[in-house]
Amino acid sequence: MKLILPEDYDPVLSVQETQAAIKYIRDTFQHEFGKEMNLIRVSAPLFVPKSSGLNDNLNGTEQPVSFTMAELPDEQVEIVHSLAKWKRNALGEYGFAMHDGLYTNMNAIRKDEELDNLHSAYVDQWDWEKVIAKEERTEETLRAHVEQIFKVIKHMEHEVWYKYPQAVNRLPDKITFITSQELLDRYPDLSPKERENAATKEYGCIFLMKIGDRLSNGEKHDGRAPDYDDWSLNGDILFWYEPLQTTLEISSMGIRVDEEALHSQLEKENALDRESLPFHKKILNGELPYTIGGGIGQSRLCMLLLKKAHIGEVQSSLWPKEMREACKKAGIPLL
């Protein structure tokens, strides 16, 4: 069992107060986020046909929850891991204009997730996607959107402080940009996770760029599916989280693959067979818009702003009996 138990932990807010704070943060953030990023809320699926190629393969090893439907007996249906591909397809299907976009409340099941303070089998996040021009597929565009998201998160800190001054977590005033190769160069003797911890502890908040491809040591910093993010134009928003003395990832995002990047990354992953799937064909044939997008963890954001010790304090999920007992003994009230 991987579990961090802070000494003398005080959740500050009662379970009822926490539930009210969760609703306030979620309602307020999505309104401010949509307005700042020029996004409208849309409805999204909980499951998709396996044959569509729309499900997120994550690192390629996790198995989605799947089933068949009475009315579609020959179609394997999968609970989504995320909506990374579905959103881009939706922008094309719904006819979104240049620089317009969407966001949705995404709920997913990741049954193979290793459970700890930050990871749950139940995933809830705001998935978002926006249309951009091909010539805007640049690091400058990526950085600008990261700064916008950080601005909204900082604004939420102030909003929460007004209502819950006794519970709010103070966040850094700026976000620092750094690449995965720069992290390796700076901390060559540390593991990828240790590098993230060292950098976020130093700067408070970083955007770790260029994740998925192999570094100079022949290894990847972290796995990324080859068919949505462009590995040269993506990254994670990471905060140093003092209550747990570790890095807390709030968002994974990036500029999406164009025709060339998709083929190149599929080739590197020995996954060229995916080019025959409907979604991938559309990209290769230039039938989908160029986009930027990502996900922002809803429970993770509530954790960050309210200084919670376990994600189970801000979402209802399933946890091993021994984890529940250890948390209860440590004064961590899991929902």
Exposed/middle/buried for residue 240 (C-beta within 10 Å: 0-12, 13-18, 19+): buried
For each of the domains in the chain, give its residue range(s) and CATH number, in order of start.
Answer: 15-329 (3.30.930.10)
- Residue 144: pLDDT band (50, 70, 90) is very high
Res 4 pLDDT > 90: yes
Predicted confidence at residue 60, as pLDDT, reads 67
Distance of alpha carbon 167 from alpha carbon 306, whole angstroms: 6
Q: Please state the three-class secondary structure of 38-99 as a single string.
A: CEEECCCCCEEEHHHCCCCCCCCCCCCCEEEECCEEEEEEEECCCCHHHHHHHHHHCCCCCC
Helix (H, G, I), strand (E, B) or coil at 132: strand
Q: Which residues are catalytic?
A: 56, 110, 125, 236, 249, 252
Res 227 pLDDT > 70: yes
Res 59 pLDDT > 80: no
Helix (H, G, I), strand (E, B) or coil at 296: strand
Distance of alpha carbon 106 from alpha carbon 44, whole angstroms: 7
pTM assigned to the model: 0.93
CB contact at 8 A, 174 and 207: no
Predicted confidence at residue 169, as pLDDT, reads 87
Of the listed ranges 98-102, 222-226, 327-331, the one predicted with least confidence? 222-226
CB contact at 8 A, 229 and 254: yes
Q: Stretch 292-299: mean pLDDT, rounded? A: 95
Of the listed ranges 1-10, 53-62, 256-265, 279-288, the one predicted with least confidence? 53-62
Res 292 pLDDT > 90: yes
- Residue 197: pLDDT band (50, 70, 90) is very high
Of the listed ranges 77-81, 180-184, 297-301, the one predicted with least confidence? 77-81
Exposed/middle/buried for residue 122 (C-beta within 10 Å: 0-12, 13-18, 19+): middle
Alpha carbons within 13 angstroms on the beta-carbon side of residue 284 total 15
Distance of alpha carbon 229 from alpha carbon 45, whole angstroms: 21
CB contact at 8 A, 233 and 142: yes
CB contact at 8 A, 243 and 261: no
Tokens linked to 215: 């570094």
Distance of alpha carbon 335 from alpha carbon 103, whole angstroms: 27
Helix (H, G, I), strand (E, B) or coil at 105: strand
Q: Stretch 68-95: mean pLDDT, rounded? A: 90
Percent of the chain exceeding pLDDT 90 equals 84
CB contact at 8 A, 225 and 60: yes
The distance of Cα 314 from the centroid of its chain, to the nearest Å, equals 17
Distance of alpha carbon 311 from alpha carbon 314, whole angstroms: 6
